Amino acid sequence: MKLRKVTAASATIFALALTATACGSDDSGSKESGSGSGSGGSKSITIGIKFDQPGLGQKTPDGYAGFDVDVATYVAKELGYSEDQIEWKEAKSADRETMLQRGDVDFIAATYSINDERDKLVDFAGPYLLAHQDVLVRADDDSIKSPEDLNNKKLCSVTGSTSAANVKEKLAPKAQLQEYPTYSACLSGLQNKAIDALTTDDSILAGYAAQDNFKGKFKLGGFKMTNENYGIGVKEGSDLKAKINTALEKMVSDGSWEKAVTANFGPANYKNEPAPKIGDIKK
């Protein structure tokens, strides 16, 4: 009799455990790329962009603006998402791989240069823009006329960016590297003479130099030190890569890519390269 009581109790506990496990599975399902649920059960997509890069990715009082934002919005539309179904997240340079690996975002369009090191950690669609590394200096500074002149100068870029490392390792080994959390912080340092030059892609620098409050204060070096192939980052193995590539090809063919370039870079007289072909990485 005692044995039958224990057996019945055990059966009850086992049944409860199964019920709890089933409920837990329903409540903790992992998010799939491009298929997150917004409020009211509507689909949404989470995209990483820069929040502080004029002309490319910038958070403004009216929303988000820039070439990367336009590209990401077009891609999202081709994937089946309207603008109000997009959740924008800030993707700082040092955080991009981690954000993709953790699934914090579905994809990242944030001046994300494709290189071998990053390609080992995430996958890239594109490229969708070919930029070049350059420097921004004060308009009245005539001491930096070539990359070699950066030796013994205070050179700023953001933490996690390859730009300053490229200069120090290949062009000006005596440059004094200063890493700041954002390009905006670098720009403030340049304006206050705490640093001598800001280095990153010419597209980014042109966006800053073209702002109304900075017009006439800075100038581009025009050095074109590297090729920077902007790609859209996705989690390694994601099927979004092929879908995004198809969307990018359509954006170029229907004229939307050129329209976005003109709208975002035109005011700075930025001379962009033609739209790159998918998979064509310029070394």
Q: What pLDDT, in 10s, does the model give residues 103-120?
A: 999 999 999 999 999 999
Q: Which pLDDT score is estimated for 264?
A: 86
Whether residue 118 is found in the same domain as residue 240: yes
* Inside any domain, residue 13: no
Do residues 136 and 113 both lie within one domain?
Answer: no
Is 273 a member of any domain? no
Closest by Cα among 216, 217, 221, 224 to 197: 221
- pLDDT of res. 268: 65
Both 261 and 239 in one domain: the answer is: yes
Give the N- to C-terminal CA distance of the chain in Å, as an integer: 81
User: Rounded to whole angstroms, how far apart are CA atoms 244 and 253?
Assistant: 14
Over 60: is that where the pLDDT of 20 sits? no
Does residue 101 fall inside a structural domain? yes
Q: Judge if 191 and 118 occupy the same domain.
A: no
- Domain containing residue 237: CATH number: 3.40.190.10
Instruction: Tell me how far apart the alpha carbons of residues 85 and 88 are, in angstroms, rounded to a whole number.
Output: 10
Same domain, 200 and 179: yes
- Domain end (from 220, 254, 277): 220
Indicate whether 26 pLDDT > 50.
no
Q: Cis ω on the peptide bond leading into residue 274 (within 30° of 0)?
A: no
70 with 199, same domain: the answer is no
CB within 8 A of 220, min separation 6: which ones? Answer: 134, 135, 136, 202, 205, 206, 209
With respect to residue 100, please indicate whether it lies within any of the assigned structural domains: yes
Are residues 54 and 210 in contact, defined by beta-carbon separation less than 8 angstroms? Answer: yes
Q: Is residue 213 part of a domain?
A: yes
Q: Is 5 inside a domain boundary?
A: no
- Whether 68 is covered by a domain: the verdict is yes
Are 56 and 194 members of one domain? no
Q: Is 100 in the same domain as 158?
A: no
Q: Clarify whether residues 245 and 187 are in a common domain.
A: no
Same domain, 60 and 140: no
Q: In the chain, how many domains are there? A: 2
CB 91 within 8 A of CB 99: yes
Residue 161's pLDDT is what?
73
What average pLDDT score do residues 45-61 get? 94
Q: What is the pLDDT of residue 269?
A: 66
Task: Specify whether 188 is located in the same domain as 205.
Answer: yes
* Dist. CA 82–CA 92, nearest whole Å: 25
Split at pLDDT 50, 70, 90, the class of 215 is confident
Q: What is the pLDDT of residues 190-211, one digit of tens each?
A: 999 999 999 989 998 888 877 7
Query: Can you give the residue range of the structural domain that contains 197?
Result: 132-220
**Average pLDDT for residues 213-229, to the nearest whole number?**
88
pLDDT-derived band of residue 263, with 50, 70 and 90 as boundaries? confident
Question: Do 107 and 122 share a structural domain?
Answer: yes
pLDDT of residue 35: 43
Residue 47 has pLDDT above 90, yes or no: yes
Helix-helix angle 67-78:240-253, to 10 degrees: 110
Residue 16 lies in a domain: no
| Mean pLDDT within 36-55 | 75
Compute the average pLDDT of residues 249-268.
90
| Pick from 251, 239, 258, 238: nearest CA to 278 | 251
151-190 pLDDT tens trace:
999 999 888 777 888 888 889 999 999 999 888 889 899 9
Average pLDDT over all residues of the chain: 85
The CA-atom distances, in angstroms, between 28 and each of 18, 40, 85, 99, 105 are: 16, 18, 22, 19, 18
Tell me, what's the pLDDT at 77? 98
Q: Once rounded to an integer, what is the mean pLDDT over residues 254-274?
A: 86
